Amino acid sequence: MVVIGLVSLPVLVLDQLTKHVVSSRMELFESIAIIPHWVDITYTRNSGAAFSMFTNLPGWFRGAFLAGLALVAIVVLIVLIARSDGLTLTTLAFALILAGASGNLIDRGLRGQVVDFLRLHYYQWNYPIFNVADSAITIGVALIVLSSLRSPKKD
């Protein structure tokens, strides 16, 4: 459970702090070039899930569905972390996913939408705008894949 304090909480604080700074200092859809033609801070809000999935669902259903999904994921991740044998690559991955799921759930609870602001692009090509929580989830999933590839098979 120490991994929650050492990994999940700092990532969650960073996620919420960056979202607060962006949403309080920028206008919606305002963009600031960090590396021109590559990286921008662009303030947006996403009422759906990753890649704006589920945005066409009725608002009340979408909100309840995504909040319920996040709550189930958070409970499962806490149980998996509690049952783990110390700090492993998989436990680190679970802690990152826990932070990301919690950060986006907090946004949904406070704002009804998730604040996104990191924009990667190359001239007209754009990757979907994301946030620190999304990055934590993505890195966590990548670590789980890496861990499963490295783990010896058990009969």
Question: Which residues are the active-site residues?
Answer: 116, 134
Per the structure block, which two tokens stand in for 14?
């960073």
State how far the Cα of 66 lies from the Cα of 104, in Å rounded to an integer: 10
State how far the Cα of 106 lies from the Cα of 116, in Å rounded to an integer: 13
Neighbours of 30 (CB within 10 A): 14
Per the structure block, which two tokens stand in for 74?
């958070």
State how far the Cα of 122 lies from the Cα of 139, in Å rounded to an integer: 22
Rg value, the chain, Cα: 17
- First and final C-alpha spacing in the chain: 29
Per the structure block, which two tokens stand in for 59?
């608002």
> Residues with Cβ < 8 Å from 81, sequence gap 6 or more?
1, 3, 4, 91, 94, 95, 98
